[in-house]
Chain A
């Protein structure tokens, strides 16, 4: 148990669906992250939030829309996804956004049909 909880663990969606991934951290951290891990590829940083403010967006397509209502919760809203978006989506948190020690959730395995 890392203190970072992601739901759902598995998600199958069609290309016209809208769904959301949820992440909650119980560590009192100020920074939260979304990463994408495609098959046989290294982790890619998608978004960084610090104190509920988005501080980094790494050229992620607009069909991915993050939301951070407070420092404990992070969402990734998905719409009009493509099959190549199928991947493991990981949430992480750290004490603040400069810290290299990050705590990861177990991830959401997303399949887009």
Chain B
């Protein structure tokens, strides 16, 4: 699985968009980008995933650059409940059981 790099922490004002970056310069053609988040002392929660096109669901949007070497998770109107560690994971969709969680980005949404 490709290695990912995320900033250790970010702050965002409540009601504003939170843009969380992820670098994955060694991604291969059949690897997807997955995003999870973990609110303090809870289990991780799947958010969204994509291969090359931008994706949107009720939780977030995922923007993947044309060369697929980086991506951005966008929470359009962050709330205090979005404060969590956000993990970017790159792997094939059906390549085995392993999800490799790195350090992630601690997003703090401030009132």
Contact = CB atoms under 8 A, between A and B. Distances in A.
A99 B34 CA distance: 12
Interface string B49-89: 10000000000000000000000000000000000000001
A12 interface: no
Majority-rule SS of B interface residues: loop
Nearest to B92: A100
B99 A102 contact: yes
A66 interface: no
A100 B1 CA distance: 12
Contacts of B41: 88, 107, 109
B43 interface: yes
A34 to B, nearest CB: 12
Nearest to B31: A100
B46 to A, nearest CB: 5
Interface of B: 32, 34, 41-46, 49, 89, 91-103
Taking residues whose C-beta sits less than 8 angstroms from the other chain, chain A's interface range is 20 to 34
A98 B100 CA distance: 14
Given A2-B45, A104-B44, A97 B97 contact: yes
A92 B93 contact: no
B52 to A, nearest CB: 16
Chain A interface main SS type: strand
Contacts of A103: 46
Most buried by A among B43, B45, B89, B94: B43
A48 B98 CA distance: 9
A102 B92 CA distance: 14
A110 to B, nearest CB: 12
Among all A-B residue pairs, the 8 with the closest Cβ atoms = A104-B43, A98-B94, A43-B101, A97-B97, A48-B97, A42-B101, A90-B43, A104-B44
Contacts of B93: 99-100
Contacts of A90: 43-44
26 contacts: A2-B43, A2-B45, A4-B43, A42-B100, A43-B44, A43-B99, A45-B99, A48-B97, A55-B97, A88-B41, A90-B43, A90-B44, A92-B43, A92-B44, A98-B96, A99-B94, A100-B32, A100-B89, A100-B91, A100-B92, A100-B99, A101-B49, A102-B44, A105-B43, A106-B42, A107-B41
